[in-house]
Amino acid sequence: MSEKLAVSGGTPAIPEGAVKSWPPIDDLDREVVLASLNGDNHAFGPNCTAFQNEFADWNGNRFTLTTNSGTAALHLCVAACGCGAGDEVLVPAYSWSSSATCILHHNCIPVFVDIDFDTMNLDVERIEAAITPKTKAIMAVHLHGLPVDMEKVMAVADRHGLKVIEDACQAHGATFKGKKVGKWGHCAAFSFNQNKCLCSGEGGMFVTDSEEMLERAQSLWSFGETRTPSQDRDYHAYAVGWMYRNNDLTAAFGRSQLKKLDGYLAQQRANAKRLTDCLRDLPHLLLPSEPEGCEHNWYNYTIRFDMAALGHGGDASDFRDKIVAAMNAEGVQTGVWQKFILPVMTVFQAKNGYGQGCPWTCPLSQPVDYSPEQFPVAQKHSDTHTGMTVPLRAPNGPEVAELTAAAIRKVMENLDQLEG
């Protein structure tokens, strides 16, 4: 039976205020942040060192550096792997821009690889064909919290003598074959941005088990110096460096949220399961997958629409936008996370990172082709997806997943109202 959609003046399926915001803030958060504020070191203070140690214990890494963003942590990974001018780093054609721009930050060249439609991750079967004599590393992005098949990635890397960077910025606590992400590659980056499963407002963490990689990362992290702020600094720049360190207040917030992270992840998984159960029989909706051996953290619950079956193969992104607008009107907090595949972004099409065509015009670089038609799977995903984070996050429970599913169902069963 037809039901008037909210976008056309009907009553929204989700009552206002039913979905609670992220992250939950409690007395522990207030206590530790206020204690930091009342302290006497608001730069790289004691909470920064403690946060590094506690995150290392939680994820199982030997070494960590807390940074001012996940992007900074990714740049540290590129430097730690010994990548330099003209070196190529393989990266999926669909991800957040930082997965590729961090490569440019170190005078290196991103080389894109198409994605696997089912997992939305790097297509591991396409990695080998993209390797050239200039390839130095592979960026394995655990997109939306679903691990890449790291056994296959590491096997290719081992055959070709390449380093592996895990972009785990969205993947806290996700596992592949029982091992946490950030433990498979040679180094990894996590983000603590507002949207992330571990939120400290902003911030990030570089992790590795290699002391040599730690030393390379430390130099970039702190002005090109070789001694860290907790050591006896000589204030001498030995190489080009940035100021990527975290600060004490942010680290204090991160520490308090870390204590609650396992509970948050358990809630997300329960909510994602309930949402999937409620949507499983809905036609023309492609639900996210969780392949055998992978444990998703459900940072983002991403669905796709079967546009060919809906008769909108020729205007997929336009009709997708209409569906998303209708879902928003019903109270579903969903959106189009990344409307562009990475190769079509201006910086790559223009091949001009920071003037004079650099780093592509560097004499150590070789030509690279960013023609978008090479990445049809990434483009199909980009044109047909929508994703959500907040409805699955604590303090929301399965009842919010049920409300969200009912609103999605209402829209999908009344798509005729969006035609024309």
Domains of the chain: 6-23+266-338+379-418 (3.90.1150.10), 27-259 (3.40.640.10)
Asked if residue 75 lies in contact with residue 102, where contact means CB atoms within 8 angstroms, the answer is yes
- The pTM assigned to this predicted structure is 0.96
Give the model's pLDDT for residue 237.
83
Beta bridge partners of 141: 167
Please tell me which residue in 196, 259, 273, 322 is annotated as part of the active site.
196
Give the model's pLDDT for residue 127.
98
Main-chain dihedrals φ then ψ at residue 160, nearest 5 degrees: -110, 5
Q: Hey, is 231 helix, strand or coil?
A: coil
- Exposure of 70 in the CB half-sphere (CA atoms within 13 A): 28
Residue 311's Cβ-count burial label (10 Å; 0-12, 13-18, 19+) is exposed
The continuous run of DSSP H or E covering 157 comes out as helix 150-160
Give the model's pLDDT for residue 236.
83
Give the model's pLDDT for residue 42.
96
CB atoms within 10 A of CB 6: 20
Give the model's pLDDT for residue 223.
84
Give the model's pLDDT for residue 120.
98
Give the model's pLDDT for residue 2.
72
Q: How far apart are CA 146 and CA 295, in angstroms?
A: 7
User: CA quadruple 36, 37, 40, 42: dihedral positive or negative?
Assistant: positive
**In 3D, which of 247, 259, 257 has the Cα closest to residue 36?**
247
pLDDT, averaged in runs of 10, over the chain (420 residues): 89 97 97 97 96 98 98 98 97 98 97 98 98 98 98 98 98 98 98 97 98 95 78 79 95 98 98 98 97 98 98 97 98 95 97 94 96 98 97 97 98 94
Main-chain dihedrals φ then ψ at residue 166, nearest 5 degrees: -100, 120
Q: Does residue 196 carry a catalytic annotation?
A: yes
Q: How far apart are CA 25 and CA 188, in angstroms?
A: 28
Main-chain dihedrals φ then ψ at residue 294, nearest 5 degrees: -105, 135
Q: Tell me whether the omega of the peptide bond preceding residue 291 falls within 30 degrees of 0, making it cis.
A: no
Q: Hey, is 295 helix, strand or coil?
A: strand
Residues 6+ apart with CB under 8 A from 32: 47, 252, 253, 255, 256
Asked if residue 148 lies in contact with residue 122, where contact means CB atoms within 8 angstroms, the answer is yes
Give the model's pLDDT for residue 240.
83
